[in-house]
Structure 1
Amino acid sequence: MVIDSLQFNGPCTCGRSHRMETELCVVESGCLKKLNDYLDKYGLTGCTAAVYDENTYQATADRHPRVSYEIVLPSEGLHADERSVALLQRQLPSQVQLIIAVGAGSIHDIVRYCAYHAGVAFVSCPTAASVDGFCASVAAMTWHGCKKTMTAAAPRIVIADTDIIRRAPVYLAKSGFGDMVGKYVSLTEWKIGHLLTGEFYCRRIADMTRNATEAVVRSAQGILRGEEAAYENLMYGLLLSGLAMQMMGNSRPASGAEHHISHMIEMEPAGLGIRSDALHGEKVGVGTLLAMEEYRRLADLAEPVFRDYAPYTEAEIRALFAHKTEELLLENAKDAASGITAQTLRANWEAICREIRSIPDVESLRQLYETLGVKSRLPDIQVPEDAAAELLRCSPMVRNRLTLMRLRKCLVQGEA
């Protein structure tokens, strides 16, 4: 399976001209063995460093590319944060012109961030179908304890070897599935944002993301059987989601309330006293079901009563996030929902409810989770069930984006 990004470049019916930095994605058995050929073909030559963690170095032992430098980071405690960035930056020779990430989500975010700040090219070699960010032009970082989406390098090419990906622990693929089903929520919220504020919306980007998500859902049970086609579909969907973010210029098509719930858990707010070692996609998968259930409840309100939007106060933020308050005050300084009035919501509520009801039935999706053995409830990710109400109420604080979860503050019966 080959994705030629040229098909996505150029003028679009949305009125914009899309351009992607990623030139090629290959999802095939054994393609990592041909990486040097692809590098030569696309002019990616010169001083090169391949970055692994200890696990991915071993997993790819029979197909390491020829490079100038190999850098192996410790697997234990490796996260996409300022400490891991500093660790890699100390080991990167100044003359490096190309950095290859050989690993899963954390390795990619660390490498793409360092490549961007070094002003060098970046190539992606995923070793697991675990997250949707391989093609992204942003890095999801935990920076001094706060979850941030930071500008980073998009890969020039992506070489996803299904031999390696299928050998990875299956829980990594289940995490990737969780990351993909979140698109049902994020796409709905993007459309709602467009309805309420005239926010830019591209049907082509939305459709390609939705189609990729549905292909993943249709073939998901094949992951349990190790079917190559199922892994190809999952990897294709994850890559296409990243390409959609490149076309958009941000993560709007791929990240909504379900990701904000995940981000809030990852930030370990002092006021909630929660901590989870679950993978990003596992948390997103649980957040997806929480958001879907809540949105369906809102759509079923018999006589909703609306009020003008009121931003989060410093007291609300400080009660949960303590020493991280200043970062979150800065994040929410220009509130994405400011100016949303009761009248605006009332006039658009019927259309909003139609969008909510276009999301797949939450119980059918929950049954698929159970069939696949995908984590579906907060206790599955070490978060107590009674934290749900605060996660729904406060997760919009972590990312200043217009979501229906943020707009629950405008419904008198919204925060049940």
Structure 2
Amino acid sequence: MPEKLINDLIAGNLKKPETGESIKIPIRKILIGSGVIKQILSLLSELNFPKRISIISDDNTHLAAGAEIERMLCKDYEVSSVVLPPDLQPDERNIELLHAYTSASEAYIAVGGGTISDIVKYNSFQQKKPYICFPTCPSVNGFTSSTSSLIISGYKKSVQATLPKAIIADTDILVQAPERLIITGLGDCMARPTAQADMLLSHHILGTAYNKYLFDIQNDYEKELFENVNLLAKRSFTAIENLMSLLLVSGLSMHISGSSQTASGSEHLIAHYMEMMFDGKYPHIYHGEQIAVTSITAAKIQESLLAKELIEIKPIYYQEKPILKKFGEKLGKRFLDEVIKKNITEENAGKLNQKFKENWKDIRQQILDIHISSEKLEEIIKSIKGPFTYKHLTWEHKDYDEAINQCALTRDRFTFLDLAMIVRQN
């Protein structure tokens, strides 16, 4: 069933429930399984891929797969390998260097994890050249998202990029990924329940879009993964394939929706705040490791609010002066432009409170139906010895507490963190 769902997505056989339109994605092929690296030559022929190709990897992923791909293609294609350092930062300098190294190429093959994927897909978008994605670890859901997470002017930003023409995920290679990268992939998947709860809450409060089917397409993969998570530690081929499949479908849900909200809510806001405001203070932490911890925190916050029999909110008007004082002129103005979209007037607060009086029980139940408890999330990540508290990431309590309480000021996205700020205490 899981493989059929991915094939149906690619073929355009699935429809949007609200319009009946076929869901269309530009990826023409996704190959997942043992030994699928051997199909790369026939795949390139099927795609009518250009002849001059740059294979982009790092020192580790070149050994894992890049060198073998080069060997397989060198007779039929004009291939060059660009091997980058493993600690590469996806910043402007490295993007420019990659462009210089690959300027003579007509197409790319990205061999590696999230960072390699991000810089190649952005380069592909800028240069209007096609690429194929060859993940060597099941670490992020960004392989199938049409954005890149890059460091621009010193700050991490999500920028427009493009999807690959095809994805080849060979489980023979994926099962050999470092344990920490498997943990980070699982951590990234833990955001779905908190992100969905945030999106549904925003729909009820601000009337923003909420498309349940974008989460439903992830259900079978997620259920299988979470129920058999102990098999990841044993490097079960089936478990690794299912993790990779869930990451790919999660990324596709973002592409289909045109927003990262289907996989990114309050848990990502907390993590992004820690990265942005305390950059350089802490040792390198993989994105999914952060999300494992922040998803548990976000779930606890959601649970505390969902435990209330009735809620009443107060109006909120975000003011320029305190935001600029807190974040400085440059960041403060950027955040202010975002957060004022969440202002709630006295009149609107009154309307919402009336709605809560009439419908809070139903709203709460809808959210509880899609919720996974913080205890369960903690149990899931513990089962493969992943991080489940900020202490495991070496974060200081005061910094983490600041992130929880201030990160809602950085985006226009309404989450349970916003609700916690405006709910009246009994």
Q: Same fold (TM over 0.5)?
A: yes
Give the Cα–Cα distance (whole angstroms) in 2 for the partners of residues 203 and 371 of structure 1: 29
Give the Cα–Cα distance (whole angstroms) in 2 for the partners of residues 49 and 318 of structure 1: 47
CA offset digits 1:120-158 (Å, max 9, x no partner): 112111000011110111112232232321110111111
Say if 2:25 is the partner of 1:20: yes
Secondary structure, aligned partner of 2:145: coil
CA offset digits 1:195-221 (Å, max 9, x no partner): 223322222212013333222212211
Give the Cα–Cα distance (whole angstroms) in 2 for the partners of residues 9 and 63 of structure 1: 32
1:335 alignment partner in structure 2 = 341
Say if 2:48 is the partner of 1:43: yes
Give the Cα–Cα distance (whole angstroms) in 2 for the partners of residues 321 and 376 of structure 1: 32
CA offset digits 1:355-401 (Å, max 9, x no partner): 44231221122123222101111111121133333212212233332
* 1:170 CA displacement: 1.1
Change (3 A) 1:410 1:282: same
Residue correspondence of structure 1 range 2-401 to structure 2 within 5 A:
3-4=6-7, 5-8=9-12, 11-15=15-19, 17=21, 18-60=23-65, 61-64=67-70, 65-66=72-73, 68-76=79-87, 78-93=88-103, 95-269=104-278, 274-301=281-308, 304-311=311-318, 313-316=320-323, 318-320=325-327, 324-330=331-337, 332=338, 335-336=341-342, 341-344=349-352, 347-348=355-356, 349-358=360-369, 359-401=371-413
Change (3 A) 1:139 1:398: farther
Give the Cα–Cα distance (whole angstroms) in 1 for the partners of residues 234 and 108 of structure 2: 34
Give the Cα–Cα distance (whole angstroms) in 2 for the partners of residues 139 and 9 of structure 1: 27
Maintained 8 Å contact 2:274/2:400: no
Amino acid at match of 2:351: Q
* 1:329 CA displacement: 3.7
Higher mean displacement: 220-229 or 245-254: 245-254
Secondary structure, aligned partner of 1:390: helix
Change (3 A) 1:166 1:197: same
Give the Cα–Cα distance (whole angstroms) in 2 for the partners of residues 121 and 338 of structure 1: 45
Unaligned runs of 5+ in 2: none
Change (3 A) 1:293 1:346: farther
* 1:338 CA displacement: 5.4
Give the Cα–Cα distance (whole angstroms) in 2 for the partners of residues 35 and 336 of structure 1: 48
Secondary structure, aligned partner of 2:260: coil
Amino acid at match of 2:209: F
Give the Cα–Cα distance (whole angstroms) in 1 for the partners of residues 94 and 366 of structure 2: 40
Change (3 A) 1:96 1:312: farther
Give the Cα–Cα distance (whole angstroms) in 2 for the partners of residues 128 and 151 of structure 1: 23
Secondary structure, aligned partner of 1:267: helix
Aligned-residue RMSD, C-alpha: 2.4
Amino acid at match of 1:368: I
* 1:295 CA displacement: 1.0
1:405 alignment partner in structure 2 = 417
Maintained 8 Å contact 2:200/2:367: no
Change (3 A) 1:389 1:33: same
* 1:16 CA displacement: 6.2
Higher mean displacement: 132-141 or 190-199: 190-199
Amino acid at match of 1:220: V
Maintained 8 Å contact 1:275/1:383: yes
* 1:318 CA displacement: 4.2
Maintained 8 Å contact 2:318/2:340: no
Higher mean displacement: 124-133 or 143-152: 143-152
Higher mean displacement: 46-55 or 162-171: 46-55
Change (3 A) 1:346 1:217: farther
Amino acid at match of 2:422: C
Alignment TM-score, normalising by the size of structure 2: 0.88
Maintained 8 Å contact 1:30/1:163: yes
Higher mean displacement: 260-269 or 375-384: 260-269
CA offset digits 1:246-301 (Å, max 9, x no partner): 2112212111111111111111348xx95351100000111100100011111224
* 1:353 CA displacement: 2.5
Higher mean displacement: 16-25 or 114-123: 16-25
Give the Cα–Cα distance (whole angstroms) in 2 for the partners of residues 411 and 217 of structure 1: 33
CA offset digits 1:287-342 (Å, max 9, x no partner): 10010001111122466441123336452354246763344345x16625656635
What count of residue pairs does the alignment treat as equivalent?
A: 409
